[in-house]
Structure 1
Amino acid sequence: MTTAFTVDPWDPSYTAALNAEALAELDATSAQLDLDVELPAAEWRPVTPDPGTAPPDVLLIADGVRRIDARLWTYAPGDVNAVPAAAAASGNGGSPAAPAVPGNGGSAAAAAISGNGASGNGDFLAAGGGGPMPGIAASCAAGIVRCVPGVAAEPVAVEVSRSLFSASPYATDIVTTAGGYRARRAARSGMDDLVLALQSHLAQLEVDLAIRHRAEAGEDDLLLVDGPLRGRTHLPRTVGYIKTHHTAYLPAPQAATVSRLRPGTRTPIFLMGTSWRRHAWYVRLPAPSGTPWAGVVRCEASADLGLDALVRLADSLTHALPPLAGVDYKDPRAPQNLVPIGGLERLLRHRLGDARLLYRALRAASREERRAPVPVR
């Protein structure tokens, strides 16, 4: 007797589209739910969108990518000479030298790229009495792609940003031959906090880009943002698009409705409150796999929308999404990673620039800074 099984359509090098723990604990959720928004909870069933509701005339999709170009150590002004020799020289296997953040008016806020030697452990104090603080030099890019039924999708806006994230109050902008990195303050110096600061900056970059583009274009559009709607609920005609499911929000009876969805259908709309409130619904895209929730995405809309507007929005988007679904021979995250999103991500990664060139430029900028005379205090 053989074991029956199905294969998750996502490439295993990516996080699974459905978290196994979430599937095993479908009743476990701390979210406050109102399941009776569109249909009574006891009457939940797959919803076929109204054929009289058309997909949006113009669908804008906003997305962003990020990359850490180097890990750094930041120092107080005047403490550039405290960078140990091991940090200034190349480590094992090409480990980096010690880049420094150029200071203002001749003062130095040195930043050593973390290597395998003494520079990487932070077990020493700088000469001025302050300890080194970790940071990251990172590049991110946001973009918008415009989708019109019957017309090829086209990117209409792209913006690239490079930043130094550090909790140090002394961090200043980095200037390299390959581009500048603007200093931005992180709440704390842990790597998770630095990455969170990077992600928050990218999310704001997407919001600002969307606002500028919509103001310039003046179209009657619908904006789809990749990821939860958190921090973007103030944007009009905007829906969050979530590809992966790490938390089980629905109780078991309603979660069973998600499993019964056919491609091109959705769940009833419900209201969800965690640290913030939003309406949500699930949609199934065309998927070749029979795995649990295969091809299922979650959509989020403002909690302030009325029921009629919500139903029109959900039906319109449910009509629009299936034709845009990714295909597995082109995208390892198909079908949830929509074709326009995949194309935009490739463009944005290209616009980030050559990672090796930027890394070398950061090291060169560090060496130049360390050669500069340090003012006597």
Structure 2
Amino acid sequence: MTTAFTVDPWDPSYTAALNAEALAELDATSAQLDLDVELPAAEWRPVTPDPGTAPPDVLLIADGVRRIDARLWTYAPGDADPAQAATAPSNGGSAPTAAMSGNGAFASGNGAFASGNGDFLAGGGGGPMPGIAASCAAGIVRCVPGVAAEPVAVEVSRSLFSASPYATDIVTTAGGYRARRAARSGMDDLVLALQSHLAQLEVDLAIRHRAEAGGDDLLLVDGPLRGRTHLPRTVGYIKTHHTAYLPAPQAATVSRLRPGTRTPIFLMGTSWRRHAWYVRLPAPSGTPWAGVVRCEASADLGLDALIQLADSLTHALPPLAGVDYKDPRAPQNLVPIGGLERLLRHRLGDARLLYRALRAASREERPAPVPVR
């Protein structure tokens, strides 16, 4: 007998849109839930948006991309020059040397070392500490439903992330990297600092664009609303599901959604509170939760405003859904988001050129430097 199966529409090179373990444990959640916001929990069913509610006249979508241009080491003042240290003869440990232990930890002659989990600790001389030189870009695309979508704001930022108190701005012939402190030296901590900076870049860009445009158009931010709940008329847009927030009976409602319908609105709180609902986009797949996205809105909105917002977005999102022959993350990766991401990656610049410029700057070969921005 032939095995029946369906294929997840997302490209397998990306993280799955739905974590299979979360699907198997839908009763498990640490979030505090209020499922009775719009309908009593026992009466949950797919909600068809009110046909009398129009999609927003203008929808702004904010997104960002990031890239690590180089991993590097920062040195404290007085440490031996790393290039000289690499070629200096052994003299009983007086020159900084580095070796790797079996668990992947580095140890240097001046007392700096790393534990196996990637946390770097410095000895008496401070020692070399790891960092990342990274580029990120944020942008906003303005969508008029049924008419056009165009990018209206883009900003690029290059930064050196390091936990070292001695890290300073890097100037290269291809661009400047502003020094920014990370909480710790592990790679996860450095990437978290990069992601936090990108999120703030998106927020600042959205605030500035709205101020310049003189309007309060609805803003859709790619990702959870965390850290952006203070922005007016703003909704978080979550494409992937790593946590099962709903109990099994209500999660079953998500599985029954048809394209262009949504779940009832509910309130959830973890370390922060927000309203949320799920929407199904058109998807050529029968996999669980195919084409399902989660929307998040401020916990301070009243019920009438929430219902109008949820219905308006449920009308607006399906026509913007990505198509699989153009985007491996369709349909959740909306067409305007995919186009904005391509533009932003282009604006990041040539990774090979930036890497070579960083290598040259590390040797102090810096003709015609470009100022840090």
Q: Is this a same-fold pair by TM over 0.5? A: yes
Structure 2 vs 1, CA of residues 119 and 21 (structure 1 numbering), >3 Å: closer, same or farther?
closer
> CA contact under 8 A between 1:165 and 1:185: conserved in structure 2?
yes
* Counterpart in the other structure of 1:72: 72
1:102 positional shift? 26
Structure 2 vs 1, CA of residues 296 and 166 (structure 1 numbering), >3 Å: closer, same or farther?
same
Residue 58 in 1 paired to residue 58 in 2?
yes
Structure 2 vs 1, CA of residues 231 and 343 (structure 1 numbering), >3 Å: closer, same or farther?
same
* Counterpart in the other structure of 2:105: none
* Counterpart in the other structure of 1:151: 147
| Corresponding residue pairs, total | 363
* Rounded Cα–Cα distance in structure 2 between residues aligned with 1:101 and 1:225: 52
* Rounded Cα–Cα distance in structure 2 between residues aligned with 1:227 and 1:19: 16
1:150 positional shift? 2.5
Structure 2 vs 1, CA of residues 251 and 95 (structure 1 numbering), >3 Å: closer, same or farther?
farther
Q: Which moved more, 1:110-119 or 1:348-357?
A: 110-119
* Counterpart in the other structure of 2:13: 13
> CA contact under 8 A between 1:61 and 1:225: conserved in structure 2?
yes
Q: Tell me the TM-score normalized by structure 2.
A: 0.87
Structure 2 vs 1, CA of residues 115 and 344 (structure 1 numbering), >3 Å: closer, same or farther?
farther
Q: Which moved more, 1:243-252 or 1:215-224?
A: 215-224
* Rounded Cα–Cα distance in structure 1 between residues aligned with 2:90 and 2:308: 55
> CA contact under 8 A between 2:360 and 2:366: conserved in structure 1?
no
The runs of at least 4 aligned residues of structure 1 exceeding 2 Å deviation read 94-128, 369-377
Secondary structure of 2:362's counterpart equals: helix
1:132 positional shift? 1.1
Structure 2 vs 1, CA of residues 274 and 321 (structure 1 numbering), >3 Å: closer, same or farther?
same
* Rounded Cα–Cα distance in structure 2 between residues aligned with 1:102 and 1:347: 49
> CA contact under 8 A between 2:118 and 2:185: conserved in structure 1?
no
Name the % identity: 96
Structure 2 vs 1, CA of residues 157 and 110 (structure 1 numbering), >3 Å: closer, same or farther?
farther
Secondary structure of 2:357's counterpart equals: helix
Matches within 5 A, 1:157-196: 157-196=153-192
* Rounded Cα–Cα distance in structure 2 between residues aligned with 1:158 and 1:29: 37
Q: What are the Cα deviations for residues 277-310 of structure 1, in whole angstroms up to 9, with x where unaligned?
A: 0000000000000000000000000000000000
1:3 positional shift? 1.1
* Rounded Cα–Cα distance in structure 1 between residues aligned with 2:70 and 2:338: 26
Residue 96 of structure 2 is aligned with which of 106, 109, 125?
Answer: 109
* Rounded Cα–Cα distance in structure 2 between residues aligned with 1:321 and 1:110: 57
Structure 2 vs 1, CA of residues 374 and 344 (structure 1 numbering), >3 Å: closer, same or farther?
closer
> CA contact under 8 A between 2:173 and 2:369: conserved in structure 1?
no
> CA contact under 8 A between 1:64 and 1:202: conserved in structure 2?
yes
Ranges in structure 2 where 5+ consecutive residues have no aligned partner: 101-107
* Counterpart in the other structure of 1:339: 335
* Rounded Cα–Cα distance in structure 2 between residues aligned with 1:169 and 1:107: 24
Structure 2 vs 1, CA of residues 99 and 338 (structure 1 numbering), >3 Å: closer, same or farther?
farther
1:136 positional shift? 0.2
Structure 2 vs 1, CA of residues 19 and 129 (structure 1 numbering), >3 Å: closer, same or farther?
same
Secondary structure of 1:369's counterpart equals: coil
Q: What are the Cα deviations for residues 209-265 of structure 1, in whole angstroms up to 9, with x where unaligned?
A: 000000011124100000000000000000000000000000000000000000000
1:149 positional shift? 1.8
Residue 311 of structure 1 is aligned with which of 301, 307, 310?
Answer: 307
> CA contact under 8 A between 2:274 and 2:299: conserved in structure 1?
yes
Let me know the Cα RMSD of the aligned residues: 6.3
Ranges in structure 1 where 5+ consecutive residues have no aligned partner: 80-93
Structure 2 vs 1, CA of residues 104 and 68 (structure 1 numbering), >3 Å: closer, same or farther?
farther
Residue 272 in 1 paired to residue 268 in 2?
yes
Q: What are the Cα deviations for residues 26-51 of structure 1, in whole angstroms up to 9, with x where unaligned?
A: 00000000000000000000000000
Q: Tell me the TM-score normalized by structure 1.
A: 0.86
1:2 positional shift? 1.3
* Rounded Cα–Cα distance in structure 1 between residues aligned with 2:74 and 2:98: 4
1:78 positional shift? 2.6
1:116 positional shift? 20
1:130 positional shift? 1.7
1:65 positional shift? 0.1
